[in-house]
A = this chain, B = another copy of it.
Amino acid sequence: MRIQPLHNFVLVKRLESERKNIADVLVAGFAIEKTNQGTVIAASAGTKLKNGSLRPLDVKIGDNILFGKHVGQQVKVDDDEFLIMREDEIVAVLEA
């Protein structure tokens, strides 16, 4: 199934990182930590401007991005969980 976001929506797969420190795992109760990073899985073709033209988004599929703590909301497509966020909430692109 292909997901084609509308408006300025972006679908993001959140990066989970393994806690390497056993003490951290004990404190948190989870071995997997949710990060503020993720990968763009799908992005709209652009934001429709008032004059009808399309402003391309500043992120593209495959970008690794940084986002704020309370940004985005979870959706489930088939059995995958994603975060939906609007492009203007994305803080930065992370370049390797």
User: Beta-carbon contacts of A38-53 to B below 8 Å, as 1s and 0s?
Assistant: 0000101000111010
Residue A36 contacts which of B75, B90, B91 (CB distance < 8 angstroms)?
B75
From DSSP, what is the main secondary structure of chain A's interface residues?
strand
Q: What number of copies of this chain does the assembly contain? A: 7
Count residues of chain A with CB under 8 A from any CB of chain B.
Answer: 40
Residues of A participating in the B interface, judged by any CB pair closer than 8 Å: 1-7, 9, 11, 35-37, 42, 44, 48-50, 52, 55, 58-59, 66, 68-70, 73-77, 84, 87-88, 90-96
Listed A/B pairs (17) with beta-carbon separation below 8 Å: A1-B94, A3-B66, A3-B93, A3-B94, A3-B95, A4-B93, A4-B95, A6-B87, A6-B91, A7-B58, A7-B88, A9-B91, A9-B92, A42-B92, A66-B75, A69-B75, A75-B91
Closest A-B pairs by Cβ, 7 of them: A2-B95, A5-B92, A36-B75, A9-B91, A4-B93, A3-B92, A6-B58
